[in-house]
Amino acid sequence: MNKEFKPLSFWRELLLKDDELCEYYLQKRKYEFENGKILKGLGWRDKLHPVLLSLIRLNRKFIAKQNLTVINDKRIKSDKPVIYAITHMGMYDYQIVCEAIKDHQYPFAGDPETMYRSGDGLLLSLNGLIYCDTNSKEDRHIALETSKQLLKNNENLLIYPEGIWNLTSNLLSLPLFPGIINMALETGCDIIPVAVEQYDKDFYVNIGENFKINGSEVTEENKKNYIDNQRENLRNILASLKWEIYESRSIEERKNLGSYEDELKKFVDTRLNEWINPKTKKPYYNEKILKERRFKEKNICFPEDVYSYIKNIKLSKDNAFIFKKDDSLPIIIQKEIKEKLKSR
């Protein structure tokens, strides 16, 4: 890629290989940001939104055969744009939430390489979206500044503050990245928390009350603590909204649920296999990627990390007690112990 960026025609873009296309769009976002072209088309995108919303609804009902239930909508109309904070668990989250909230918004997309040459990417580009290569510090800065500019131009945002799909077995919400609190703090915009849950083709959405950030309480000395506290408050609200969805469902008998281990594997595999790379025929995401892209809280470790030393222990009579059956250990560690005992 030349240092001096030159936009290509649509036909020239088609000739680029996948890695070249990713680098091209990375440089294009930088070029448009530096030349004040990042906010093109705000007016006509607002007008086009009802048409795109109708297409999303028709696709859900008649092609995907999916059902949507909004169990609550407690948001209050704001005189400012808002930031929608969405829980994230699969590839259909955006379409489902977009139909539920109805408002036009610019989604924040952290996996641009999957979208450039797809039908979803085309529709999102018509709607307007913010691409961000999460591995690039410069692109993260451009995405953040672009988001703030959109809010200041009276446009709504839609963000997944967990950063990646939450396919964990016991966390209603993953730890949140602080960017959403920073944006609300700098722009004075409300955050609207939204939880989404999927049961095969049945989707449930729960829209919470406006979450307000009070900038008058913030000083340079307490800013970090304030953001961390608000981030945790928002996470708790998202978890509560998820729990309300669970409570709205009928109660299942434990005997009908099958084994925990098998059901968890089925759940994770189903979500991952909904989004397949057409070239590799493999899921775009895997459990390693899901773990790497989570927000990492300081001084907090995942259970599988705490017990990761077990992989490196050579079994002997002196350490055999470590490998005794213990149902309190994480499932993934119990699996590793079984494999180690089998290979003995």
Encode the chain (344 residues) as per-residue pLDDT tens digits. 446 888 899 899 989 999 999 999 999 999 999 998 888 888 899 999 999 999 999 999 999 999 999 999 999 999 999 999 999 999 999 999 999 999 999 999 988 888 888 888 888 999 999 999 988 999 999 999 999 999 999 999 999 999 999 998 889 999 999 999 999 999 999 999 999 999 999 999 999 999 999 888 889 899 999 999 999 999 999 999 999 999 999 888 888 888 888 888 899 999 999 999 888 999 999 988 998 899 988 877 777 777 777 777 787 877 777 777 777 676 667 777 777 677 76
Q: Is 224 among the domain residues?
A: yes
- Residue 305: which domain range? 301-344
Which tokens hold the place of 75? 């948001």
Last residue of a domain, one of 248, 282, 315: 248
Cα–Cα distances in angstroms (integers) from residue 170 to residues 68, 225, 239, 302, 330, in the given order: 24, 26, 11, 12, 11
Give the pLDDT of residue 1. Answer: 46
195 and 84: one domain? yes
228 within domain boundaries: yes
Same domain, residue pair 242 and 332:
no
Judge if 76 and 145 occupy the same domain: yes
Domain of 60, CATH number, reads 3.40.1130.10
Q: For position 89, what pLDDT does the model report?
A: 92
| Residue 161 sits in the same domain as residue 236 | yes
Residue 18 lies in a domain: no
CA dist 244 → 70, 119, 283, 291 (Å) = 11, 34, 30, 26
Classify residue 327: in a domain, yes or no: yes
Nearby residues of 69 by Cβ (< 8 Å), 6 or more positions away: 202, 203, 204, 205
Let me know whether 123 and 201 are in one domain: yes
User: Do 114 and 211 belong together in one domain?
Assistant: yes
* Domain assignment present for 28: no
Q: In whole angstroms, what separates CA 53 from the centre of its chain?
A: 21
Q: Which of 248, 272, 290 is the last residue in one of the domains?
A: 248
pLDDT for residue 331:
67
Task: Give every strand in the sheet of 82-86, ordered side by side.
Answer: 67-73, 202-207, 190-199, 82-86, 157-159, 106-109, 130-131
Judge whether 10 lies within some domain: no
pLDDT value, residue 240: 98
Q: Look at residues 248, 272, 291 and tell me which one is the last residue of a structural domain.
A: 248
Tell whether pTM > 0.75.
yes
Total number of domains in the chain: 2
56 within domain boundaries: yes
Based on the domain organization, do 161 and 80 belong to the same domain?
yes
Element (DSSP H or E) covering residue 242: helix 223-248
> Are residues 216 and 323 located together in one domain of the fold?
no
Residue 273 inside a domain? The answer is no
Specify whether 49 is located in the same domain as 112. Answer: yes
Same domain, 188 and 87: yes
199 and 271 in contact (C-beta within 8 Å)?
A: no
Residues 330 and 217 in one domain: no
Report pLDDT for 238. 98
Domain shared by 136 and 212, yes or no: yes
